[in-house]
Every structure is written in C-alpha cells, then in structure tokens.
Amino acid sequence: MYDIRSKALGYNQNKRNMLVSLSDVLTGKVKIPKELLKDLICQAEEGILMSQEILGQIYQEGLTTGKNIRKAVYYYEMAGKQNSFFALRKLADIYMLKEKELFLLMMKNMSII
C-alpha cells in the first residue's frame, strides 16, 4: 500500500517494483499505477488531507483517464472542510473559470461580443 502520510513525495519503499514519485505523477512524467489511485481514494475517504489534495489535482489536470472537474471538486471540497488553503484556492480557481465561461457565453448569446 502507498502510504502518503509518511512520505512527502509519496514514495513506496516496500514495493520496489512499484516505486513511484507523486511529483512525477503530478507533473505527468509517469502514469498513475492503479494501486496508487486506489490507495489514494481509500486514504482520502478516511480523511487524509494530502490524499484529498492530490486526488483533486490528479482529476483537475486529467492525469488519469482525462479531466474530471466534478471529481476534482469533490476531493478539493473534502480537503477544504479541513481548512486546506491549497484546496480552497483550487476551488476558487475552478469556480472563477466556470463563471468566466458562463459570462462569455451569456455575452455571446446577447451579441455583445
């Protein structure tokens, strides 16, 4: 099992054949092993803040099967309830982007732009 709590970069020292750095995952250098994703989800549901933040970023940036903003918001909201500044900032960015998209669509429909 990947233990996010004990390692800042999320290295799994017990399973040498599955060694992966979360920094490499989050920068898109490597694909996310299914075992890591499952473990992150379990840890996030248990209330592990770092796992919630990481999953939010994974889904927001499409580092799994593609972008999934709903799942990103779900995990960022979980982290936000624990007063994660990172997650709250990401939520604000997502909401601002959606507001901007809706505003531009409205302006286009009104033939203003």
- The string of pLDDT tens digits covering residues 45-63 is 999 999 999 999 999 988 8
Give per-residue burial for 15-42: e unless 16+ CB within 10 Å, then b. eeeeebebeebbeeeeebbeebbebbee
In percent, how much of the chain has pLDDT > 70? 74
Number of domains in the chain: 1
Q: What is the structure's pLDDT at 17?
A: 41
pLDDT band (50, 70, 90) for residue 83: very high
- H-helix segments, the chain: 22-26, 34-45, 49-61, 69-80, 85-109
Domain that holds residue 44: 4-109
